[in-house]
Copies of this chain bind each other. A is one copy, B any other.
Amino acid sequence: MPSRRELANAIRALSMDAVQKAKSGHPGAPMGMADIAEVLWNDFLKHNPNNPQWADRDRFVLSNGHGSMLLYSLLHLSGYDVSMEDIKQFRQLHSKTPGHPEYGYAPGVETTTGPLGQGLSNAVGMALAEKILASQFNRDGHEIVDHYTYVFLGDGCLMEGISHESCSLAGTWGLGKLVAFYDDNGISIDGDVAGWFTDDTPKRFEAYGWHVVRSVDGHDPEAMRQAIEEARSVTDKPSLICCKTLIGYGAPNLAGSHDCHGAPLGEDEIAATRDKLGWSHPPFEIPEEIYEGWNGAEKGRAAEAAWDEKFAAYKAAYPELAAEFQRRLQNKLPENWEATVTEALQAADSKAEKIATRKASQNAIEAYAPVLPELLGGSADLTGSNLTHWSGSKVIGKTIAEGNYLHYGVREFGMSAIMNGIALHGGFIPYGGTFLMFSEYARNAVRMSALMGVQSIFVYTHDSIGLGEDGPTHQAVEQAATLRYIPRMSVWRPCDAVESLVAWRAAIERKEGPTSMLFSRQGVPPQKRTPKQIEDIRRGGYILRDTDGRPDVIIMATGSEVALAMEAAETLAGKGIKVRVVSMPCTDVFDAQDETYREAVLPSDVRARLAVEAGVTDYWRKYVGLEGKVLGIDTFGESAPAPEVYKHFGLTPENLAKIAEDMIS
């Protein structure tokens, strides 16, 4: 039997060798946290390398994602489908082992990490999802949802502001099954953190209501085992285990220095490390008994089999709940989904209300949520403004887990990364609201949802100068365009109640990535549509108002500016000008249509094109070209009642009509 230290040294060897081979990477953290990982994975982690998708597995997140070789080593050693060949391909194109752990590349990678603080926040979301899901599905004697979430993190994660947001919430929510391991090695990229990170971290986390295990020797397996047991024994608070470690543990000359943080150790130091660790095996060779010591396959199979039995009993006792649990975990839509949508669309179309689209969004939630118990809503302290709540909203608190609404507080970044964690966990479709402007506070978590391709739904209200008096700090100008530039992000900006329902439908049906929905603060009139037009909304852009024959001019618009376009078109038509109005609620979906459709909406030979949107104009050049015109806003907004701000920026039907007329005269 190899010793615990020898098992851990396998991680150290793989990490230093893979980084050396790749000529880049971060050996310091894997070598420093190897002993901690060994204890956690071999003594505690409930997982099945044969089935990385097992619903009730413990979640493991490496928030200090630059230490990716730690995770790859763990996956490889414990029996996941990550081969030695994969390890050798570390940081190479199309490998399973990219520089940072990327969700979807290697089995067992629960989330993409690297942008610091976000993995920790994802973990908070996962632990929260577990708690809520358990409250919704577990029954006495049937604990089918019952797992831990473990997260490793470093100084960097703790310096980032998002750690404050999500850890404060984890404390408030009392996430007892969240256990965080702080790699307290005193080193970050610029060197000894004493010059820039002097927080009393245990005290800080106690202030958040966490249980803190202070000052554990991260290289003493028995101490680590006890610390983890202590953490698990506290069930009403998340736990932070502060592990004193030596970065690059084992490297005789570089350990304890930032020189081993983000660069290969070098051949000489690697040789010296082998000597010091007593690890005599060549690079990328692991003795059989070490593999045996690590192998989690059998234990995993047994654990999952036990759960299968438990689930079978549950299914026998609660067949409907069991079926619903499976539906939820598979992220499938319910049977009556189509009917629900159709009914809601018909109702909104007949009602033809003039309402703010944020209100239309609330109506959409009200219509869809009753058949979608997986919808887990919330807002960053703007519930009454974002209108993210509905009549069935039930707020989740420390002692109330069975609910469907979260008060995230004024924490946009934390909210968004927690939403990503919830989506990654499974069983829920998270949606969360803030003002469109404050999408910027969350910007990189929003991007991460797109990078991972998870179904987070971002509800962004007060989407333009139309919010009025709050002024330029709150008035979105460039935010619609910049969200649209995030790859794989779908962005909707509907113009009325019917388009808002379609936007929500698209967001709910889109399983391969996130959706951002931009809603107005101010009221907008309903548009009249044929059934065909209603159907075409789903194509992202469609002809809302047409003319006979070839149009003299095409006006395209989104959201609250569609009404302006329609009014301008009326004026122009009165002058005998042939105007087509294209409503373009979702440019990415429109761009993904086949060429025939796009050509039918925007014929190549019509170059008199005018776009109107209360935001930066350059974005629209992709549709209007160099000859076209764009009416928008390229400066910051102004504080005043909305109609006056619109007038100030020339966003009026009169001005729009005039520009169109000038274009074709």
Measured between C-beta atoms, what is the minimum distance from A412 to chain B in Å?
8
Q: Taking CB as reference atom, which chain B residue is nearest A89?
A: B640
Alpha-carbon gap, A172 to B194, bound state (A): 9
A115, B437: Cβ atoms under 8 Å? yes
A160, B168: Cβ atoms under 8 Å? no
Q: Which of A172, A199, A379, A411 has the most CB of B within 10 A?
A: A199
Alpha-carbon gap, A409 to B66, bound state (A): 16
Measured between C-beta atoms, what is the minimum distance from A400 to chain B in Å?
10
Q: Which of B99, B115, B384, B441 contacts A438 (CB 8 A)?
A: B115
CB within 8 Å of B: which A34-87 residues: 65-66
B407, A100: Cβ atoms under 8 Å? no
Measured between C-beta atoms, what is the minimum distance from A319 to chain B in Å?
36
Q: Which residues of B contact A100 (CB under 8 A)?
A: 470-471, 473-474, 639
What are 21 of the A-B contact pairs (CB < 8 Å)? A22-B469, A102-B471, A102-B473, A116-B410, A161-B413, A161-B414, A168-B197, A190-B381, A190-B409, A196-B407, A200-B209, A201-B207, A204-B208, A440-B444, A441-B443, A451-B636, A481-B482, A485-B619, A487-B634, A618-B621, A621-B621
A244 within 8 A of B: no
A162 within 8 A of B: yes
Q: A99-B469, A159-B409 are in contact. Are A168 and B478 (CB under 8 A)?
A: no
Alpha-carbon gap, A116 to B434, bound state (A): 13
Q: Which of B94, B208, B381, B448 contacts A196 (CB 8 A)?
A: B381
B172, A165: Cβ atoms under 8 Å? no
A203, B207: Cβ atoms under 8 Å? yes
Q: A99-B639, A161-B161, A410-B188 are in contact. Are A447 and B451 (CB under 8 A)?
A: no
Q: A207-B204, A471-B100 are in contact. Are A381 and B160 (CB under 8 A)?
A: no
CB within 8 Å of B: which A613-653 residues: 616, 618-619, 621-622, 625-627, 634-636, 638-641, 644-645, 648
A245 within 8 A of B: no
Measured between C-beta atoms, what is the minimum distance from A269 to chain B in Å?
19
A301 within 8 A of B: no
Alpha-carbon gap, A95 to B438, bound state (A): 25
CB within 8 Å of B: which A463-481 residues: 468-474, 477-478, 481
A contacts, CB < 8 Å to B: 22, 24-25, 65-66, 91-95, 98-100, 102, 112-116, 155-156, 159-165, 168-169, 171-172, 188-190, 193, 195-201, 203-204, 206-209, 379, 381-385, 395, 397, 407-411, 413-414, 437-438, 440-441, 443-444, 447-448, 450-451, 468-474, 477-478, 481-482, 485-488, 607, 616, 618-619, 621-622, 625-627, 634-636, 638-641, 644-645, 648
A189, B114: Cβ atoms under 8 Å? no
Q: Taking CB as reference atom, which chain B residue is nearest A630?
A: B622
Measured between C-beta atoms, what is the minimum distance from A163 to chain B in Å?
7
A91, B639: Cβ atoms under 8 Å? yes
Q: Which of A159, A448, A450 has the most CB of B within 10 A?
A: A159
A160, B93: Cβ atoms under 8 Å? no
A190, B469: Cβ atoms under 8 Å? no
Q: A160-B441, A196-B407, A482-B478 are in contact. Are A190 and B384 (CB under 8 A)?
A: yes
A410, B443: Cβ atoms under 8 Å? no
A487, B478: Cβ atoms under 8 Å? yes
Q: Which residues of B contact A209 (CB under 8 A)?
A: 198-200
B471, A159: Cβ atoms under 8 Å? no
B93, A471: Cβ atoms under 8 Å? no
Measured between C-beta atoms, what is the minimum distance from A107 to chain B in Å?
17
Measured between C-beta atoms, what is the minimum distance from A101 to chain B in Å?
9
Q: Taking CB as reference atom, which chain B residue is nearest A473?
A: B114
Q: Which of B112, B161, B382, B625 contacts A473 (CB 8 A)?
A: B112
Q: Which residues of B contact A91 (CB under 8 A)?
A: 469, 471, 639-641
Alpha-carbon gap, A634 to B472, bound state (A): 30
Q: Which residues of B contact A195 (CB under 8 A)?
A: 172, 395, 397, 407
Q: Which of B156, B165, B204, B482 contacts A485 (CB 8 A)?
A: B482
A160, B621: Cβ atoms under 8 Å? no
Q: Which residues of B contact A93 (CB under 8 A)?
A: 638-640, 644-645, 648
Alpha-carbon gap, A162 to B161, bound state (A): 5
- Extra A-B contacts (18), CB below 8 Å, given A204-B208, A443-B443: A24-B468, A25-B469, A91-B469, A91-B639, A91-B640, A91-B641, A93-B638, A94-B640, A95-B639, A99-B469, A99-B639, A100-B471, A112-B473, A159-B168, A189-B383, A196-B408, A203-B207, A487-B635
A485, B618: Cβ atoms under 8 Å? yes
Q: Which residues of B contact A627 (CB under 8 A)?
A: 625
Measured between C-beta atoms, what is the minimum distance from A223 to chain B in Å?
24
Measured between C-beta atoms, what is the minimum distance from A437 to chain B in Å?
7
Q: Which residues of B contact A411 (CB under 8 A)?
A: 159-161
Alpha-carbon gap, A648 to B92, bound state (A): 12
Alpha-carbon gap, A160 to B447, bound state (A): 19
Q: Which of B207, B379, B622 contacts A621 (CB 8 A)?
A: B622
Q: Which residues of B contact A636 (CB under 8 A)?
A: 450-451, 487-488
A381, B99: Cβ atoms under 8 Å? no
B625, A197: Cβ atoms under 8 Å? no
Q: A159-B411, A485-B478 are in contact. Are A470 and B381 (CB under 8 A)?
A: no
Q: Which residues of B contact A114 (CB under 8 A)?
A: 470-471, 473-474
B379, A98: Cβ atoms under 8 Å? no
Q: Which of A112, A115, A379 has the most CB of B within 10 A?
A: A115
Alpha-carbon gap, A191 to B450, bound state (A): 32
Q: Taking CB as reference atom, which chain B residue is nearest A258?
A: B384
